[in-house]
Structure 1
Amino acid sequence: MNPPAFEELKCCLCKELYKSPVMLGCGHSFCKICLDEKLQAQLERKCPSCQERLKPNENPTPNILLANLISCLVRQRKELCESHGEKLLFFCMNCETAGCMVCKDSAKHLRHTFLPLQEADEIFKNKLNYAICTLEKRFQSLKCEIGSQEEEVKKFTMTQVQMERHLKSEFLSLHLYLDSIEYEMRERLRQESEASTQAMTRNMFVLETKRERMENSILRMQKKRDTSDIRDFLADIKDFLQEFSTEQEEEMKTEIRVEAPTLNAGLYCGPIQYMAWENMKKVLQPGISNIVLDPATAHPALCISDDLTMISYKPSKVKENIDTPKRYNTMIGVLGSRGFRSGKHYWLVDVGMKEEWILGMAKDSCNRKGEFDVTPEQGYWTIKRSKDGVYSALSSRPIELPVQDRAKRIGVYVEYEAGQVSFYNTSGPAHMYTFTSNFTEGLYPFLSPCENERQIMRIFHLKV
């Protein structure tokens, strides 16, 4: 059976099978789009085939019969083999194409596996169903990930807003305090200046009054001196001079002095910023915690100063200490004497030029015996400087820290409720690293000078 010819079913304008065929009054049919384009290009509307003029109100009508015929023939053609014109009954699994009985026995498909179309349809639909199911699972997983990401974006945005508010609040407190100090000093300067100005004004009034009286005395004496009649001049000269003498004696009783007050240059032109800083220490939140060490927890090789603020490594001292449950017996470390169970705290450690050290926080039940890793899993949140100058946060896997300037003093900040332990290089100052966790017991300062003789670590105490 030969495949049907489609030449009679092609539009004469586009030479393709009719698409949405329409028919003119003359009986000729065209693709709707082709005819519309042709008629728009003409000055006078005519049939493209026979050139018959279209009536003024004539519009092409859909050729439904022709459209149905083309649809039916196309559908039949899809069911026939293009090579042999036979009905497609099989599917070649090797070539992945449909074939007829002739194709199955042809040399082109020699030793190929053929399946009935229905069976092949079922196999591939099952594969598609499996692929769809897998993709839907991945799609659902992706939706969950998107939801989680959206939540993270919200949390991050909220955290950013909270941090901005915190920064604004903290600096506003500083600004308000500095403004109050500035106001007090300026008000004091104003009051002192006003008092001094009033004193100088009063003295100026006194001096001006004395000047006027003195001018009057001079004028009277000049007038008396210039009296032309000798008798008049001498008539009362003695009384005149006595009166003048009495006036001068009264004037001499009033001291003539210049008021020259001075303002306190040491107070108003001194180290204002330093004085303000000294005052600010009283209101810093959190204030610097003056930590002291607990000798009962110190490794036997550690030497602690009498004021419990300095430690150094001295292995010759080991014999002097007896091991106790609270004491480190392998780790060269010591804990602070006071723990934190709430609130915000900040303390400082001078490490100077020490080559190696570890410091941070440890929970009350931290391991203190034998060999162990100083990690959060063991109850430690610490940073370390190695002998090679590398700084690292001692997490489950050490994280190298990008420290620019050598850290000679380290600040440790604890915010218990927020589960935060942060470290700062105060030489910068620069943030070094932050641990986050969920604290459920007391946290104690932890220090380890490592095995470095003649080098000390000192807890910094701020004296207000």
Structure 2
Amino acid sequence: MNSPAFEELKCCLCEGLYKTPMMLGCGHSFCKTCLDEKLQTQLQRKCPSCQERLKPGQNPTPNTLLANLVSRLVLQSKELCETHGEKLLFFCMDCETTGCMVCKDSTKHLRHSFLPLQEAEEIFKNKLNGFLCSLERRFQFLKNEIRRQDEEVQNLKMTHSQMERHLKSQFQQLHSYLESIENTMRDRLRSESDANTKAMERNLCELEKKRERMETSISRMQSKKDTRDARDFLADIKDFLQEFFREQEEEMKTEIRVEAPKLNPGLYCGPIQYMAWESMKKVLQPGLSNIILDPVTAHPALCISDDLTTIFYKPTKLKEENTDTPKRYNTTIGVLGSRGFRSGKHCWMVDVGMNEEWILGMAKDSCNRKGEFDLSPEQGYWTIKRSKDGAYSALSSPPILLPVQDRPRRIGVYVDYEAGQVSFYNMNGPAYMYTFTGNFTESLYPFLSPCENERQRMRVFHLDF
């Protein structure tokens, strides 16, 4: 709007509409900021327009009338089309701009769709309401994940404390020989725990930042949605939505997730004494379970030594003897130990030598022994396997490939019944291999299988002092 009246409402210093107009004694008015800056640079305070000096103690006074005129003019200008000077009544859905009756009939908006301002306002507020609901749902999800993340941090610290106590109790028995090894392993545990804790706390911090950004977005969205004046609401709705979509697109690139790395019980709650037994035999307390095999459970094609410690596969034996009993394996090439574990901590070992293929681990008393089935925890088996191609795997559902570097010739199996833990170790190193965890409710028996490989023996190791 460039009418003469409009020009009269401009400050001669900044050439913009008056902002907080102040009047001098001479009758001239200026923006408060403009006048303050001008007077501060003068040695003798004068009116910037007529140069009349201000009397001592004379200060500018607010020009309320002029301020009201400016406010009314600005309000009127919002209601009028800048191009045609007519009252804004419509919203062009194609251009996403407000328009007057002349705009609606102009060639610029030919075949465009127009809606009354109130209808357009309702449509876009409904859209914002949908976005706001979506943001609030995600915000609630984020808060829940932050709570879970905090719980995981506390659980990790508690697990760390439990494992540290276990390590300390084990090494007290070998302290004179193993003090340096104990410190090394405790440092490793602490380092792993600290690294995991820091990773989770970093993720928690990122989630908190994401929550703050989302709170800001919700606040801005709510503020925009609550705008009462339709013209103010629709004036920048296109830019507002574009900025919102850009922000959300960036936010969607980062995943909302809870970091929950676990400390491996097999590394720190396993048979620590036997992990170093090759160099510590003089002070090692005898605790190895001397397992013997149960011929009643052996597959008919398995031969068992007289001392019940060694097995090998002999297919011709299957033709010679094919007696089936309820406890005997009739399809799986396997045998159970004669002694089961119902409580406590136990460790036993098997010499697998250079056998190409084998399976060993633990099986519950009521495990299936007839027909075809998977040797998985769901079937009552906690076992690992070496395949003919040299791959090692834990027979879970599905199987998990194990990163074994040095070929093990002796495997250690550790059972902590109350903790629900079955761990495997390459005793050549020794080196940790894998841990199953579960909830045991019945006796567990050692399980061995040389698979269908003739002349390949598996021997249960007995420790003699």
Give me the TM-score of the superposition, normalised by structure 1: 0.73
Deviation at 1:354, TM superposition (A): 0.8
Corresponding position of 1:105:
105
Corresponding position of 1:390:
391
Corresponding position of 2:283:
280
SS at match of 1:410: strand
2:36 aligned partner, one-letter code: D
* Residue-by-residue CA offset, 1:226-284 (whole Å, 9 max, x unaligned): xxxxxxxxxxxxxxxxxxxxxxxxxxxxxxxxxxxxxxxxxxxxxxx9999444232x6
Corresponding position of 1:440:
441
Structure number with bigger Rg: 1
**Cα distance change of structure 1 residues 403 and 10 upon mapping to structure 2, 3 Å threshold:** farther
SS at match of 1:414: strand
Corresponding position of 2:404:
403
Alignment of 1:73-84 (within 5 A): 73-84=73-84
Distance 1:281 1:37 in 2: 89
Corresponding position of 1:316:
316
Deviation at 1:309, TM superposition (A): 1.3
Deviation at 1:16, TM superposition (A): 2.9
Corresponding position of 1:35:
35
Alignment of 1:187-206 (within 5 A): none
Corresponding position of 2:195:
none
**Cα distance change of structure 1 residues 47 and 308 upon mapping to structure 2, 3 Å threshold:** farther
Q: Which runs of 5+ in 1 are unaligned?
A: 180-272
CA contact (8 A) 2:177 2:280 kept: no
Deviation at 1:175, TM superposition (A): 0.8
1:48 aligned partner, one-letter code: P
Matched, 1:454 2:425: no
1:422 aligned partner, one-letter code: S
2:283 aligned partner, one-letter code: M
Distance 2:311 2:141 in 1: 55
Distance 2:20 2:277 in 1: 91
Distance 1:4 1:344 in 2: 98
1:353 aligned partner, one-letter code: M
Distance 1:114 1:397 in 2: 60
Corresponding position of 1:360:
361
**Cα distance change of structure 1 residues 360 and 2 upon mapping to structure 2, 3 Å threshold:** same
CA contact (8 A) 2:92 2:99 kept: yes
Deviation at 1:2, TM superposition (A): 8.5
Distance 2:446 2:4 in 1: 93
Deviation at 1:177, TM superposition (A): 8.3
Alignment of 1:139-178 (within 5 A): 139-175=139-175
Give me the TM-score of the superposition, normalised by structure 2: 0.72
Q: Which runs of 5+ in 2 are unaligned?
A: 180-275
Deviation at 1:8, TM superposition (A): 3.0
Alignment of 1:212-361 (within 5 A): 277-282=280-285, 287-319=287-319, 320-361=321-362
Identity %: 78
**Cα distance change of structure 1 residues 458 and 3 upon mapping to structure 2, 3 Å threshold:** farther
Deviation at 1:151, TM superposition (A): 0.8
Corresponding position of 1:216:
none
CA contact (8 A) 1:301 1:314 kept: yes
Aligned length: 368
CA contact (8 A) 1:2 1:85 kept: no
Corresponding position of 2:212:
none
Which is bigger in relative contact order (C-alpha 8 A, separation at least 6)?
Answer: 2
Matched, 1:120 2:120: yes
CA contact (8 A) 2:333 2:450 kept: yes
Deviation at 1:376, TM superposition (A): 1.8
Distance 2:93 2:451 in 1: 72
Deviation at 1:366, TM superposition (A): 2.0
Deviation at 1:351, TM superposition (A): 0.9
**Cα distance change of structure 1 residues 118 and 175 upon mapping to structure 2, 3 Å threshold:** same
1:359 aligned partner, one-letter code: L
1:290 aligned partner, one-letter code: N
**Cα distance change of structure 1 residues 121 and 454 upon mapping to structure 2, 3 Å threshold:** same
Distance 1:48 1:417 in 2: 92
Distance 1:346 1:327 in 2: 25
Larger deviation: 163-172 or 347-356?
A: 163-172
Distance 1:101 1:2 in 2: 21
2:164 aligned partner, one-letter code: E
Larger deviation: 125-134 or 24-33?
A: 24-33
Distance 1:90 1:25 in 2: 46
Deviation at 1:169, TM superposition (A): 2.9
CA contact (8 A) 1:348 1:459 kept: yes
Distance 1:55 1:2 in 2: 36
Distance 2:447 2:44 in 1: 100
SS at match of 1:432: strand
* Residue-by-residue CA offset, 1:351-399 (whole Å, 9 max, x unaligned): 1111111111222222222222222222222111111111111221222
Q: What is the aligned-residue RMSD (CA, Å)?
A: 2.7
